[in-house]
Structure 1
Amino acid sequence: MSSTPERAPSGHVDRVADYYDDNTRRFLLVAESPGSDAIHRGVWTPDVANAAEAMDTVNRLMIERVRGYVPVDGARVLDLGCGVGGTMVRLAHEVDGLISGVTISRVQADIAAKRFAREGLTDRCDVICADFAELPARPHYDAMVAVEAVVHSPSLENLLPSLVERLRPGGRLILCDDWMTDKDRGLAARERCLDQFRAGWRVGSLHSVAELAAMSECAGLRLVEDLDLTPYLRLGRPRDRLIKLAVGATAVVPRLRERIVEMPFWANMIGGSALQVGLSRRWLEYHLVVLEKA
């Protein structure tokens, strides 16, 4: 089915948990819009006026695609890889129902729970610290969303059927993530870049949207929308250029690169720098994808 084998290393889930436990508080400090409680990327669509709005773009786009496809009251929505709960809070203000989230990171789960308490949402928002591939069979959800999360799955091909089992008929799975393209496939520079992205950002499943669509169809989902957000990312910011220089210096000693990629801080630098290159050369693209259960 997939032309690209999944090759997450042994212990991958634990490595993802360590990565976010160690990095999350720093992510919040250096976010494009500090104080937003969002650790995903800002998307500068033409209607966006400032960094806060850019950080909310993905949330807004997801809400638009959830509203109208869930019950007007009593909806159940699940945020896969919910981070510190920013998207969940936005959903809770826009969708009448229960918003659940799951994160592999204990640090993120604790931050999210405290935010729900501050917002007075503990009766409508709950977060569990677990692997989203091993969720209870019930309850069933009207919609599931995931922002920059499913790329960490050791096997997206195995994950999709388990999610479909927990999604009601007609329910939506909305994914916003990085997807591989076929551009320059086989080129040595491209493959090195993607390998650095995988290693640094603890990526377990890197697929194209076409591969996702094929896997989804086999799992009982149909692709209803594919929105390319890559043109609206701001690449090559001063901070990104500094990181590229720092990461480039480590390439002089390959064994050094191999060692520091295991350190969550440097792993983020290495993976993020590779991501910038991949996006700028269109080896990777950032897409919002909507799938629907038959």
Structure 2
Amino acid sequence: MSRVREFYEANTWQFLLVGSGQAIHRELHGPGVRGRAQALDFAHRLVDEQLDAVGVRDGGRVLDLGCGVGAAMRYLGARSRADLVGVTISGRQVRIARRIAARSADAARLRFVEADFCDLPADLGTFGLAYSIEAFIHAPAADRYLSQAAAVLAPGGRLVIIDDLLAEGADADEPSVQTVRRSWHYDSLLTGSALIRLADRAEFDLVEDTDLSGYQNLGRPRDRLIAAGQPLLRRAAPHHRWSQMLVGGHALQDVLQRGLLQHHRLVFRRR
């Protein structure tokens, strides 16, 4: 995970600068969404739906695996009485998350831990719900991520993964897919069927699989500007980390628009 740590240590402030200043995942323009703020919260809503399913809304423990700067935790904390723990590989993200959370009325129920979600601290305890929003994809070993999640979830607890999947039958060696993998550190880019098989081995049953691809806001004006600048960005990419990421972002737009990658929410139940 050292490459992922370095990636977020270097780029979190830039994600926040070009994003909302609070969340670093993509917008989803799902049913009922009005405006950008609600689009950023849509993924949070998809996790929030599971609080009642596992009975933790009025008290219990929830784990964010790859919490970033804590946007999802703050959303859930404001709508429940659960205790929320967030794990991120980036010390910078922990510091930012703590600083933002300190201004929240729910600060006492939000805890941020610098750790590898493929090697969780032994003292985390047990949770009723765990989730990852655009973080599972960075796991160097998907089976290790799933076994660690299973180890901290109580029987009947749920795991929610919101992330990109390789479309069934898509060519994993297609050049744009490979560019995305290199630029964004997509170390666990799996098909849905492959992920479900690995989850089964880790004692998880699939509860729900929802394709969110149609809710993405692709081809925005800034995306078109980045597309137009690709010749210059490709020349700069070997020497400039941000240029490399913009090349990867253009490739990500390409594979999402062509359907080679799909954005899904998968809900698993711990046996």
Give yes or no for TM over 0.5.
yes
User: Quick check: 1:25 aligned with 2:13?
Assistant: yes
Structure 2 partner of 1:174: 160
Structure 1 partner of 2:249: 272
Tell me if structure 1 keeps the 8 A contact 2:168–2:192: no
Task: Give the one of 186, 211, 215 matched to 1:203.
Answer: 186
Tell me if structure 1 keeps the 8 A contact 2:233–2:243: no
Structure 1 partner of 2:87: 102
Task: Give the one of 220, 233, 250 matched to 1:237.
Answer: 220
Q: 1:119 to 1:208 in 2, by over 3 A?
A: same
Structure 2 partner of 1:221: 204
Shift of residue 183 of structure 1?
4.2
Rounded to whole Å, the distance in 2 between the matches of 1:146 and 1:179 is: 14
Structure 2 partner of 1:150: 136
Shift of residue 273 of structure 1?
1.1
Task: Give the one of 110, 115, 118 matched to 1:130.
Answer: 115
DSSP 3-state at the match of 1:243: helix
Relative contact order higher in (CA < 8 Å, ≥ 6 apart): 1
Rounded to whole Å, the distance in 2 between the matches of 1:198 and 1:75 is: 36
User: Quick check: 1:59 aligned with 2:44?
Assistant: yes
DSSP 3-state at the match of 1:118: coil
Rounded to whole Å, the distance in 2 between the matches of 1:118 and 1:47 is: 28
Rounded to whole Å, the distance in 2 between the matches of 1:192 and 1:280 is: 15
Tell me if structure 2 keeps the 8 A contact 1:70–1:171: no
Tell me if structure 2 keeps the 8 A contact 1:67–1:95: no
After superposition, where does 1:39-78 map in structure 2 within 5 Å?
39-78=24-63
Shift of residue 162 of structure 1?
1.7
The percent of aligned pairs where both chains have the same amino acid is: 37
DSSP 3-state at the match of 1:171: strand
**Aligned-pair Cα RMSD in Å:** 1.7
Shift of residue 245 of structure 1?
2.6
Shift of residue 212 of structure 1?
0.6
Amino acid at match of 2:220: R
User: Quick check: 1:283 aligned with 2:260?
Assistant: yes
Tell me if structure 1 keeps the 8 A contact 2:127–2:154: yes
Residue deviations 1:234-291, cap 9 Å, x none? 111111112123234454x6xx65x24xx43123212211110110000000101101
TM-score (norm 1): 0.87
Amino acid at match of 2:135: A
Residue deviations 1:212-233, cap 9 Å, x none? 1000001100111111111111
Amino acid at match of 1:83: G
Rounded to whole Å, the distance in 1 between the matches of 2:180 and 2:210 is: 22
Aligned residues: 270
Deviates more, 1:69-78 or 1:281-290: 69-78
Gaps of at least 5 residues in structure 1 are: 1-12
Shift of residue 24 of structure 1?
1.1
